[in-house]
Amino acid sequence: MTATPSPDSRPGSRPEARREPRRATTLAERKRQLVADELTEAALQALAQKGFDAVTVDEIATAAGVSKRTFFRYFASKEDVVVQFLAGMGADIRDALAARPAAERPSQALRHAVWVPLGQCADHGERALRVVRLILRTPALHARFLERQAAWRDDLAAELAHRLGLDAGTELYPRLAAAMALDAFDAVLHRWSADGCAEDPAALTDRAFAVVAPALDARAGRDA
């Protein structure tokens, strides 16, 4: 369930700008990203196992094999690790939507997009589940999660508007559709992370999108 912080995850970034070719990364940048990934993984696992308040930055740095000073070159605090992780998750959803076929129905495209982070959770099983529970059950982290979701909604709305040739500033559909897709995503996370839940995340995602698909595809049906 590792998502790397993305410089393109700013709220309201333009879809056209995101489509510009990315420059090749340098060796130094790749090394820096590797350290950031190792710190993120060490932090998330330590926080999930011991609880947010019980883990120190020193412990995270030691687990990642770096100094405390190195930690603060990458993150402002242990909370910032989670915030950047969530930013990367949102960028993954947005980029996955942008990569879907243009003719695909909105419900299908959005279902595939939100499945990217959910699929990563499913692949990592119990380890990812602990991280999800940490975020949803720690008030400070859950508040940041909700903040990031608002940014995700703006990016998804902009991407949907681009796909459908709509004006995101005046049309209601893109923002409403993005909100419905993220509500489905949120419902899956809450259900999957509930104590005693043994349901498959893919099946939960299918069920959630079966509920919202008629509304998501209403415009597609009207334009057909």
CB hemisphere CA count around 20 (13 angstroms): 7
User: What is the predicted pLDDT for the residue at 24?
Assistant: 62
The verdict on residue 14 lying in a domain is no
Assess whether 85 and 55 both reside in one domain: no
Assess whether 66 and 115 both reside in one domain: no
Q: Is a pLDDT exceeding 80 seen at residue 186?
A: yes
Q: Is a pLDDT exceeding 90 seen at residue 5?
A: no
Give the pLDDT mean for 31-49. Answer: 89
Which residues have a Cβ under 8 Å from the Cβ of 130 and sit 6 or more positions away? 45, 48, 49
The verdict on residue 12 lying in a domain is no
Assess whether 62 and 87 both reside in one domain: no
Assess whether 212 and 112 both reside in one domain: yes
Yes or no: say if 42 and 63 are a contact pair by the CB < 8 Å rule.
yes
Assess whether 115 and 71 both reside in one domain: no
What are the C-alpha distances in Å from 176 to residues 149, 157, 158, 159, 218? 14, 8, 11, 13, 12
The verdict on residue 4 lying in a domain is no
Q: Is a pLDDT exceeding 50 seen at residue 7?
A: no
Assess whether 53 and 153 both reside in one domain: no
Q: Is a pLDDT exceeding 90 seen at residue 197?
A: no
Give the pLDDT mean for 44-50. Answer: 90
pLDDT tens for each residue of 117-165: 999 888 877 888 888 999 999 999 999 999 999 999 999 999 999 999 9
Residues of the domain holding 53: 23-75
Q: Is a pLDDT exceeding 90 seen at residue 93?
A: yes
Give the pLDDT mean for 71-86. Answer: 91
Q: Is a pLDDT exceeding 60 seen at residue 198?
A: yes
The verdict on residue 155 lying in a domain is yes
Assess whether 67 and 89 both reside in one domain: no
User: What is the predicted pLDDT for the residue at 122?
Assistant: 81
The verdict on residue 3 lying in a domain is no
Q: How confident is the model at residue 13 (pLDDT cuts 50, 70, 90)?
A: very low
Domain end, chosen from 53, 75, 97, is at 75
Yes or no: say if 188 and 194 are a contact pair by the CB < 8 Å rule.
no
User: What is the predicted pLDDT for the residue at 199?
Assistant: 86
Q: Is a pLDDT exceeding 90 seen at residue 98?
A: yes
Q: How confident is the model at residue 116 (pLDDT cuts 50, 70, 90)?
A: very high
Give the pLDDT mean for 63-72. Answer: 93
Q: How confident is the model at residue 1 (pLDDT cuts 50, 70, 90)?
A: low
Assess whether 207 and 130 both reside in one domain: yes
Assess whether 68 and 118 both reside in one domain: no
Query: How many independent structural domains does the chain possess?
Result: 2
* CATH number of the domain residue 68 falls in: 1.10.10.60
Measured distance CA(160)–CA(112) in Å, rounded: 14
Assess whether 109 and 163 both reside in one domain: yes
Q: Is a pLDDT exceeding 90 seen at residue 26?
A: no
The verdict on residue 159 lying in a domain is yes
Assess whether 101 and 190 both reside in one domain: yes
The verdict on residue 141 lying in a domain is yes
Assess whether 32 and 56 both reside in one domain: yes
* CATH number of the domain residue 89 falls in: 1.10.357.10
Q: What is the value of pTM for the model shown? A: 0.79
Domain end, chosen from 32, 60, 75, is at 75
The verdict on residue 16 lying in a domain is no
